[in-house]
Amino acid sequence: MFDRLKDVEKRYEELERLLSEPDIISKQQTYQKYAREHADLRDLVETYREYEKIRSRIVEDQALLRGNDDELKEIVKEEIPQLKENLVILEERLKISLLPKDQNDEKNVLLEIRAGTGGDEAGLFAGDLFRMYARFAESNRWKVEVMNTNPAGGVGGFKEIIALIEGRGVYSKLKYESGVHRVQRVPVTETQGRIHTSAVTVAVLPEAEEVEVNLDPNDLRIDVYHSSGHGGQSVNTTDSAVRITHLPTSVVVTCQDEKSQLKNKAKAMKILRARILDMMTKKQHAEISEARKSQVGSGDRSERIRTYNFPQGRITDHRISLTRYDLDNFLDGNIQETIDAITTHFQTEAMQQSVH
């Protein structure tokens, strides 16, 4: 591991030198490429340097313990355990940083939220979840663009809502949110005060570039029709709603939120590409190895991942048995702490697999 880290540090220093050369500065494309690589390595190199600094300090302290200064010995005796503890933490961080990167981590995502079992209550909770993710996106200064909505009717919420979230490292933060989110609460329509259980499905798909998923126009059936609003009434009199069917996979995408047919078609194509890339990736993973079952556990959208219990103000993430009692705060978009805990869990699993 440390040989690899030395090589990384050498490359980092080489990039620092290259980025100061006038010849490189004048070639904008090359400069940007090197600047990105330099930025990607910064955290790892700084952690490694901190690790080396603490290791040297421990060696110095151990030398002082062999000396004659009793007062200094007492100070050093107290310091060494804390330094060793810091060293272990940094070593774990370095191991995780050296894990192979998910090629999709820096991508934007298409967030798809669908009401499952539970009728109106599921639709309302789909709306709550969308608001939670939108707030979280706002705190990260990401841009949220609603691609398509299917309102749940009179009570509010959504049968389905799809949004594009753009920003740095969006997929790396949200990729473990895919799955079934279960809600337990007393619906507003419930007169007996009984708690109902409903479910909402969340899918987080990395945005697909055209070069990654090149769709043959001959494989697409495109239908246009009148957009319909609440209760089925027509939103406008033009055929602006678009339905695209990818014939080889039978994947169907509809978009009707925009008044322009062209805009609806562009949005539908973006969603279609992401869904097909997701299918291709899953197929690839299944073919490559059965051993990557941790990936299924982290992203299978049929798996119940979290329960939101309103009467107790409790959120439980079932994958890591983590329970919090700040439900209102959580639904307000303050989910970073849980996301960090889940990410660490799956990174640690990946690290253990790479050792065996």
324 band by pLDDT with thresholds 50, 70 and 90: very high
Average pLDDT, the chain: 83
Q: pLDDT per residue over 111-160, tens digit each?
A: 999 998 888 889 999 999 999 999 999 999 999 999 888 888 777 889 99
Other C-beta atoms lying within 10 Å of the C-beta of residue 247: 11
Mean pLDDT of 75-104: 80
pTM: 0.66
Residue 282 clears pLDDT 80, i.e. is over it: no
- Is pLDDT at 235 greater than 80 in this prediction? no
Q: What is the pLDDT of residue 189?
A: 67
Q: Of 296, 234, 224, nearest to 263 (Cα)? A: 224
pLDDT-based confidence at residue 306 (cuts at 50, 70, 90): very high
Residue intervals of the chain classified under CATH 3.30.70.1660 are 109-355
Residue 273: band (very low, low, confident or very high) from pLDDT cuts 50, 70, 90: confident
Mean pLDDT of the region 233-246: 70
What does the pLDDT look like over 168-220, one tens digit per residue?
A: 889 989 999 999 999 999 887 676 778 889 999 999 988 887 666 778 888 88
Domain 109-355 carries which CATH code?
A: 3.30.70.1660
- Is residue 291 very low, low, confident or very high in pLDDT (cuts 50, 70, 90)? very low
